[in-house]
Every structure is written in C-alpha cells, then in structure tokens.
Amino acid sequence: MIKMIALDLDNTLLNNNKEISPRNERVLRKLHQQGIQVVLCTGRPINAIWPYIEQLGLTTPDDYTITFNGGLVINNLTKEHLFEFGMGKEDLAPLLKFVQDEKIPLNVLDFDQVYELNDFPGSIYRTVLKHINFKPIASKDLPDKTYSKAVMAIPAEKLTPIIKGLPVTVTKHYHAVQSQPMIMEFLPTGVNKAVGLKVLLKHFGEDFGNLMSFGDADNDLEMIEAAAQGIVMANGLPQVKAAATAVTDSNEDDGVATYCERFFATKL
C-alpha cells in the first residue's frame, strides 16, 4: 500500500515557471489530508523551497523534507535533523584542485548557507537558488566543517564540455549528478534521494514497498528504482524512464496530478 509520495521539484512537480499548478496542489493537498505522506525531495535547502511547503500545507508535526539530494532529512515544523550525511573540507580537495587548475566557478554548501568561491567568478547559482545566504570566500579560507555538496552552476553550453572532461581523479571521490542543464552537483559518495527516503520510511515503520516517487533527472534515478511505484515525467531523461514503473504526462501538463488521480481514484 502506498503511504508516501516523494516528489522531485524542477521539471517534475514544478512547471516551467517554477510553479506548483492549482491542479497539482489540489490533488496533493487532498491526499495529504487523508494521511498520505507528501515529501518534497530536492537538492536545495529547506529555506529555498519553503513557499512550496506552505502552498501544499506540509506544516504538520509529521511532515519532513528530503534536502541536499538525500544528504539531509529535516522536519518541516521543528527543523530538527532526522538524518544528515556530509563530507569534510579534506574531502573537497580533489574537486577544488580541479576547478582551480581549470579556472571553473564553484559553490560549496554546508547545511545552512552557500560559500561562493571567488577564486574564479562566473557562477550563476545566485540566480537559481533563493532564500539562502551566500558568503563570498576564497577556497583557501573555507572553514573546517561538514559540507553537504559542491555545485558547478554555469550556462549549459559551458557546463556540458566540463562534465564530459571530468577526470577519474574527481569522479571517483563523489556521487556526481547533473540536476539541471546548468547545474552539476558533487555529493558525498553514497548519498542520493533514496538514502534519505529509506531513513524517513523507517521512521514511520514503512519501507520502499510503501513509496511512490516522481522524478525526471539523473539525481532522481535511485528513488525511481527503489520505489514500488517509480513514476517518470514525459520530459524525463531516457535512462530515468527506463527505470520507471510508469511514465506520466510532462511537468507542464500536470503529470503528477494525472497519475495520482488515476492511482488514487477512490481517495480523490
């Protein structure tokens, strides 16, 4: 029995204007009110997606969000961390050396803010990520603490050749995923959205047999594969569609609502 719905945001729940449509909102609110856990799963911190959480009414004591692509499971109301998985400053060394050698802009995130490395300006991350503090800093001055991920955020036409040229000396140290055409994320090895969801499901005495997940991109693949119902949008990547239980309409055509209205017909 499906007791939890996990939802990627960009190009999945959100339309191309970065909005939750009235239809998607209506369906998800009704399911949530009937006891289905609705869990947003994103690479962003919770502050950056708070308007979506409020729009869906996910503000009860039992509501959680999967942030940093599975690296943090956080209670929406109390902000208590149910689970976190990060990496130390020393773990960033191979990536920092690569971007310094190649003069590539980079942002590094802990669980609260963005460290905007100013060694090589040009990141567009400020235009993508809202409602979070950006702190300009030189890479040599990064504090010794736990980090959730590092991000290359540059126009897609510049990012694509960089991704194709990533050396093994970099990729072997991280779980590297492209979450949007202009964003490449470097996560701790072993972190993905399914990891955070497994912790949350266990918290509620459930497992992947109780999960329905919606996604479109590489950073959604693991939760699509793990879920009893892994649903991919019509606009999703071919390799992610190949792992899906089903393919629904696109994010522009309310694909989340389309599938839920059919699957949960007796509840809606």
Q: Is 184 found in the same domain as 131?
A: yes
- Whether 17 shows a pLDDT value over 90: the answer reads yes
Q: Return the pLDDT at 161.
A: 95
Task: Evaluate whether residue 61 is within a structural domain.
Answer: yes
Pair 175, 99 in one domain: yes
Kindly report the backbone phi and psi dihedral angles of residue 229, in degrees, each rounded to the nearest multiple of 5, phi listed first.
-125, 100
98-117 tens-digit pLDDT: 999 999 999 999 998 999 99
Q: Would you say 256 and 13 are in contact if contact means Cβ atoms under 8 Å apart?
A: yes
Give the pairing type, strands 4-8 and 211-215: parallel
Which H helix or E strand runs over 163?
A: helix 156-164
d(CA 133, CA 114): 6
Helix (H) or strand (E) holding 233, with range, is: strand 229-233
Q: What is the pLDDT of residue 45?
A: 92
Q: Please check whether residues 100 and 178 belong to one and the same domain.
A: yes
**Mean pLDDT of the chain, nearest integer:** 96
CATH number of the CATH domain containing 229: 3.40.50.1000
Cα 200–Cα 201–Cα 205 angle in degrees, nearest 5: 120
Q: Do 171 and 126 share a structural domain?
A: yes
Give the pLDDT confidence score for residue 268 in this predicted structure: 86
Please give the pLDDT value at position 130: 83
Is 156 a residue whose pLDDT tops 90? yes
257 pLDDT higher than 90: yes
Q: Do residue 100 and residue 176 come from a single domain?
A: yes
Whether residue 142 lies inside any domain: the answer is yes
Query: CA-CA distance, 22 to 15, in Å (whole number)?
Result: 11
Domain boundary among 153, 188, 223: 188
In this predicted structure, which of 25-39, 118-132, 148-162 has the lowest mean pLDDT?
118-132
Higher pLDDT, 75 or 267: 75
- Note whether 199 and 78 are same-domain residues: yes
Q: Please state, for a pLDDT cut of 90, what percent of the chain lies above it.
A: 93
When pLDDT is cut at 50, 70 and 90, the band that residue 6 belongs to is: very high
Tell me the residue range of the domain where 42 lies: 4-85+191-263
Say yes or no: 156 and 176 in one domain: yes
| 113: β partners | 133
End of a domain among 122, 157, 188?
188
**How many structural domains does the chain have?**
2
Asked if residue 104 and residue 183 are part of one domain, the reply reads yes
Domain boundary among 188, 212, 243: 188
Asked whether residue 196 is domain-assigned, the answer is: yes
Is 183 in the same domain as 95? Answer: yes
Residue 268 is assigned to a structural domain of this protein? no
CATH number at 107 reads 3.30.1240.10
Are 77 and 15 members of one domain?
Answer: yes
Report the pLDDT value the prediction gives residue 204, as an integer from 0 to 100: 98
DSSP code for 251? G
pLDDT bin (cut points 50, 70, 90) of residue 179 is confident
pLDDT (average), residues 45-51:
94
pLDDT by residue (tens digit) across 124-146?
999 988 889 999 999 999 999 99
Kindly report, residue by residue over 211-231, the tens digit of the pLDDT: 999 999 999 999 999 999 999
Taking the C-alpha atoms of residue 184 and residue 160, their distance in angstroms, rounded to an integer, is 9
Within a domain: residue 228? yes
Note whether 77 and 100 are same-domain residues: no
Residues 42 and 162 in one domain: no
